[in-house]
Amino acid sequence: MRVSRLMLVTLRDDPAEAEIPSHKLLLRAGYIRRVGSGIYAYLPLLWRVLQKISAIVREELNATGALETLLPQLQPAELWQRSGRWAGYTDGEGIMFHLEDRQGRELGLGPTHEEVITALAGDLLRSYRQLPVNLYQIQTKFRNEERPRFGVLRTSEFLMKDAYSFGTSLEQLNVAYDAMYNAYCRIFERCGLKYLPVEAESGPIGGDASHEFMVPASNGEDFVIHCPDCSYAANQERAETGRKSSLPQPVTDAPAPTLVPTPDAGSIEQVSKLLKSSPQAFIKTLIYKADGKPVAVLLRGDHTANEGKIRRAAKATSVELADEATILQVTGAPVGFAGPIGIQCPCLIDHDVPAIRSAIIGANAKDAHLTGVIPGTHFPVTETFDLRNAEAEDPCPKCPATLKMVHGIEVGHVFKLGTRYSISMNANYVDAQEVSHPIIMGCYGIGVTRVVASIVETCHDENGIIWPLNVAPCSVMLIPLNVTDPEVMKASERIYQELNDAGVDVLMDDRDQRPGFKFKDADLIGIPLRITIGGKGLAEGIAEVKWRGSAETHKPALASTTAFVREQLASRS
Ligand code: ATP
Ligand code: MG
């Protein structure tokens, strides 16, 4: 490939709309171009990167016995109605782009493919003899994201590898899941990513049924809680705090709480300012509806509620924050003044609440709070739960160490689905006794374009991208310093030809530009190995060879430069 034929346009300055390094560098180095909000053109150099990542994905998945397929992106509403997901995916907050065809039939643009694949499985997989099976595809997905941002990290259409396994038993599911988990580790490793598999939501199977693959990065949108001593790692949604509390003994001679006026101060921030105390001194009382019934959740003022934990503690199938009318009904006050004393619904109390010795709570009356409240004395505490998001410095749930928190980018997700889709969509097989059972499924996703964002986010310096060799658009960047010098071009063309013949992918910067300009672009584009030909070196009969990101320059003889470069590449692959 020749740069002159690449319609390469590089930018010297950071584009105004780009906030994070991967977005800036991919735009500046000419890999992507914005077409609309969350919509990008993948230019030829990026397409080569995507092809290399896809090839790694294919190799590793094929090795597990998974089969590549290609499913339609236009999906009939009827399939999503059968699974029960059409309404949720297409209402105001839904992420599915949807449309009608000329005949007025409703269609969705696939954000994921459980419905399509389960319908196919129900049609084709009828007997235990046909199972297990695992199918995957690499294809564009569409999602009407609330906030597309950060270049190709979160877009409205993106490349995803999605896979779906089908089996007759939990054992078959576990085998497929472990094979995918291990294949993911190899894929991310080969892509040059530092990654962390973390426990994620458990879904219908419960237990250890889902892992996300996170790339630790300061601009990641997810929070990962992990223990530096043991292997515990989970996303914030799932992470346990490892806190326990002993139930408080009632204090016999405790003075009654003091009623303090807090006019128009309903938030913890406002009240703590007014009363000059820290949020840690507050007990915040959040009113939820668990399966439709009101329940109060008590947390320390600076902690954040975790709905999954609340749902489990309430033994409910769904929880949501209560509406204003419910809050008025159980507290007798408008939003912002709820407290556990005299509240007309059951309370779920977080482990950290009893440790607050003299707490501030809402008074269940407009514009009033109570101070000097002692949990277990002024309101009953008979049981405590883990109801909040884990944070850094919480105790590890698995060992005596304390937890750490880092930002992460979710690049992949493996999930034991169980029979959620096979039951609703009637995908059954018969066993050896001709008895029918729902097929047991797993699903497995990798955000291929997000992998690119993650690589650039973690592999760059102030001058540009530093591609890991395995996924670089080309292995070698060949720079003839002066393209008008026939000697320079003769030597460059020869090496270009020799490398191409040897199957090494080379990008030659054959533009008539100053050396400084070409070096800047080379650093920006980030191709791993750079060969420079011309100037003093040519007179001495040598080329200059240098790895991107390393200060060391090698000077092989011009005649043996091709062999030297091949050795260098072999030593790193
Ligand atoms: P997120 O929580 O980041 O929105 P998700 O959990 O909804 O992602 P999955 O349904 O698990 O995403 O999709 C599988 C993979 O696809 C994700 O792990 C991620 O790498 C990628 N992905 C999801 N949404 C996007 C997007 N809008 N843009 C780019 N990649 C995405
Ligand atoms: Mg996910």
Kindly report the three-state secondary structure assignment for every residue of 362-384.
ECCCCCEEEEEECECCCECCCCC
Q: Average of pLDDT values for 259-265? A: 92
CA 206 to centroid of ligand 1, rounded, Å:
22
Q: Which atom of ligand 1 is nearest to the CA of 156?
A: 27
CA 9 to centroid of ligand 2, rounded, Å:
34
Q: Which ligand is nearest to the CA of 111?
A: 1
- Dihedral of the CA atoms 40, 41, 43, 45 (nearest 10)? 40
CA 299 to centroid of ligand 1, rounded, Å:
31
CA 107 to chain centre: 27
DSSP states of 139-175: EEEE---SS-BTGGGB-SEEEEEEEEEEESSHHHHHH
DSSP states of 551-566: --EE--BGGGHHHHHH
Query: Mutation test of ligand 1: which of 450, 452, 457 has the most ligand atoms closer than 8 Å to its C-beta?
Result: 450
Q: Average of pLDDT values for 195-223? A: 88
pLDDT of residue 201: 84
Pocket of ligand 1 (CB under 6 A): 112, 143, 145, 154-155, 158, 160, 410-413, 445, 447, 449-450
pLDDT(276) > 70: yes
Quick check: 417 and 408 in contact, CB under 8 A?
no
Amino acid at 236: Q
Q: Average of pLDDT values for 83-98? A: 94
* Distance between CA atoms of residues 143 and 296, nearest Å: 35
pTM of the predicted protein model: 0.92
% of the chain exceeding 90 in pLDDT: 94
pLDDT of residue 224: 97
Q: Which ligand is nearest to the CA of 408?
A: 1
* Distance between CA atoms of residues 379 and 296, nearest Å: 13
Q: Average of pLDDT values for 274-299? A: 96
Pairing of the two strands 106-109 and 98-100: antiparallel
Q: Which residues contact 559 (CB under 8 A, 6 or more apart)?
A: 541
Per-residue pLDDT of 31-68, as tens digits, reads 999 999 999 999 999 999 999 999 999 999 999 999 99
Measured by CA distance, the residue closest to atom 4 of ligand 1 is: 154
Q: Average of pLDDT values for 290-317? A: 95
Q: From 90, 88, 138, 144, select the one nearest 113 (Cα to Cα).
A: 138
Averaged confidence pLDDT in the chain: 95
Per-residue pLDDT of 382-435, as tens digits, reads 999 999 999 999 999 999 999 999 999 999 999 999 999 999 999 999 999 999
Q: From 294, 192, 309, 338, select the one nearest 239 (Cα to Cα).
A: 309
Radius of gyration over every alpha carbon of the chain, rounded to an integer in angstroms: 30
CA 111 to centroid of ligand 1, rounded, Å:
10
Q: Which atom of ligand 1 is nearest to the CA of 154?
A: 28
pLDDT of residue 245: 79
* Distance between CA atoms of residues 196 and 182, nearest Å: 12
Measured by CA distance, the residue closest to atom 11 of ligand 1 is: 413
Quick check: 339 and 372 in contact, CB under 8 A?
no
Q: Which atom of ligand 1 is nearest to the CA of 112?
A: 10
Exposed / middle / buried, residue 285 (Cβ in 10 Å: 0-12, 13-18, 19+):
buried
CA 108 to centroid of ligand 1, rounded, Å:
18
pLDDT(206) > 80: no
Q: Average of pLDDT values for 513-534? A: 97
CA 415 to centroid of ligand 2, rounded, Å:
9
CA 500 to centroid of ligand 1, rounded, Å:
37
Q: Which atom of ligand 1 is nearest to the CA of 221?
A: 3
Q: Which atom of ligand 1 is nearest to the CA of 213?
A: 18
Measured by CA distance, the residue closest to atom 18 of ligand 1 is: 412
* Distance between CA atoms of residues 401 and 229, nearest Å: 6
CA 447 to centroid of ligand 1, rounded, Å:
6
Q: Which ligand is nearest to the CA of 222?
A: 1
